[in-house]
Structure 1
C-alpha cells in the first residue's frame, strides 16, 4: 500500500498563515499536518509515500528527507507544475499515473489539509475494495462535498455501505444526500487503470475538476466501499474557522 498525499494547493483562504508555506506544512502542537498524516498511515503499515507538491514546493521537498530518516520510510515528491491553473484531478492523476506506469500497489489518497481520527485510516485500509470515507453523522451545509448513493446497502456491523454514486458535488440537495466525502479514499491496483482513464476525461473536460467526481463513473463498473465515519471526527482546513477546529481536534485525539 502507498500513501498519496496532495500538497500542491495555495490555501488562499488561510492567508497570512500560508503566505510562505503550503497548508500541509502548518503545525499543530509542533507537528506539521503532513507529518501527522504520514504517521496515521504508518499505523496501518504504510512505508511508501507520494507527495504531490506545487505551491512553495521546495519547502515540502526539503522536509521529505528529514521525515524519511526519522521514520525509515520512502517519500517521492511529484510536482504539479500547473498547480495554480489546475485542481485536484490533475494532482491526483500525476500520482496515480506514476503508480500505473510503474505497476506499484494499491494506494490511499489523502487531501493534505485534513485532520482526521486515525481510526478512519484503519477502517479504510481494512476494507476489501476501492473505497471512500463518508461522514454519515455531520450536519451538511452548502460547502459539504455531498453524494447520493443509489441502491445503498450496509454490511452487518453497519460500517460499510455499497452501491453506485448517483450524484456527487457541493450543489446537491441536503435532505437527499447520503453524507459527505471527507477527502480520504483508497484505490485498489486492479482499479487504477480505469480510475486514470476517468481522470483523463475529467481533466480534458476541465483541468479545474476535482478528482472526487471520478468515483461516480468508477462506481458504475467497480465495487466501491463507502466506509462510514459513524461519528468519528475530522475536519478539512479551508479557512481560519477550520484551522481553529483542527487545533481542538488534535488536542482531543492526543489526549
Structure 2
C-alpha cells in the first residue's frame, strides 16, 4: 500500500506563514505536518509514499530524503507543474496515473491535515475503496459535506456502505450525512475507473476537487464510509485552523 500526500497548494489564506514554505512544511512542536502524517501512515503499516509537490517544491523535495532516511521508508515526489492554476484533481491524477502502471492500493491524504493516528489505521484496514466521514463534528458552510443514499452500517456503526447522492460545500446541512475529511483509500482494482473519472473532472474544470470523483465511482464500485465516531482531526486552511491544529497536536501527544 502506498501513502499519497498532496502538498502542492499555495496556502494563501495562511500568509505570511506560507510566504516561503508550503503548508506541509509548517511545524508544530518542531515536526512538520508532512513528517507527522508520514509517521501516522508508518504506524498503519505503510512504508512507501508519493508526495505531490508544487508551490516551493524544492524545499519539500529536499526534505523528503531526510524523512525517508530517518524512518527507513521510500518517498517519491511528483511535481504538479501547474499547481497555481489547478486544484487537487490534477495533483491526485498525477499520482494515481503513476500508480496505475504498477497497481496497488493507496491512501490519499490532504497534506494540510492533522488527524488522530487511529483515523489512518481505520482507512488502511478498509477492504474496499473508502472515505473517512466525520459524523460528530458540527457542520458549517465550509464543511465538505456528503449526502449518502442507501446507507448500510456495521453493528458498531463504524462503516457505512452506500452511494453518494451529493458532495460539496453548498449542500443543505440538515440533509447531510457528515463531512469528508480529506482522507481516503482507492483499492488497486478501482484505479482505472477512478482515473477515468478524474480525467473527466479535469477536462471539465482543472480547478475541480478530486473529492467529486468518489460520487461517480460510488455508482459503479463499493465505497466504504469509515466514520470518525469522535476521533479528532482538523484541516488547516486559515489562521484559526492553524491555532486549532496546534491545540490538537498538544492533545494527541499528551
* TM-score bracket, shorter-length normalisation: over 0.9
Q: What is the alpha-carbon distance in structure 1 between the residues aligned to residue 108 and residue 122 of structure 2?
A: 14
Q: What is the alpha-carbon distance in structure 1 between the residues aligned to residue 237 and residue 160 of structure 2?
A: 28
Give the deviation of 1:231 after TM superposition.
Answer: 0.5
Q: Deviations over 1:60-115 (max 9, x none)?
A: 000011011100100000000000000000000000000002x1310000000000
Structure 2 partner of 1:62: 62
* Aligned residue-pair number: 254
Q: What is the alpha-carbon distance in structure 1 between the residues aligned to residue 229 and residue 45 of structure 2?
A: 24
Structure 2 partner of 1:23: 23
Structure 2 partner of 1:220: 219
Matched, 1:3 2:12: no
Determine if contact 2:103/2:191 at 8 Å carries over to the other structure.
Answer: no
Please list every run of 5 or more consecutive structure 1 residues that lacks an aligned counterpart in the other structure.
none
Secondary structure, counterpart of 1:222 in structure 2: coil
Please identify runs of 4+ aligned residues in structure 1 that moved more than 2 A.
none
Determine if contact 2:144/2:179 at 8 Å carries over to the other structure.
Answer: yes
Determine if contact 2:144/2:168 at 8 Å carries over to the other structure.
Answer: yes
TM-score by length of structure 1 reads 0.99
Determine if contact 2:3/2:48 at 8 Å carries over to the other structure.
Answer: yes
How does 1:1-255 map onto structure 2 within 5 Å? 1-101=1-101, 103-255=102-254
TM-score by length of structure 2 reads 0.99
Please list every run of 5 or more consecutive structure 2 residues that lacks an aligned counterpart in the other structure.
none
Q: What is the alpha-carbon distance in structure 2 between the residues aligned to residue 104 and residue 78 of structure 1?
A: 17
Determine if contact 2:152/2:162 at 8 Å carries over to the other structure.
Answer: yes
Q: What is the alpha-carbon distance in structure 2 between the residues aligned to residue 4 and residue 60 of structure 1?
A: 14
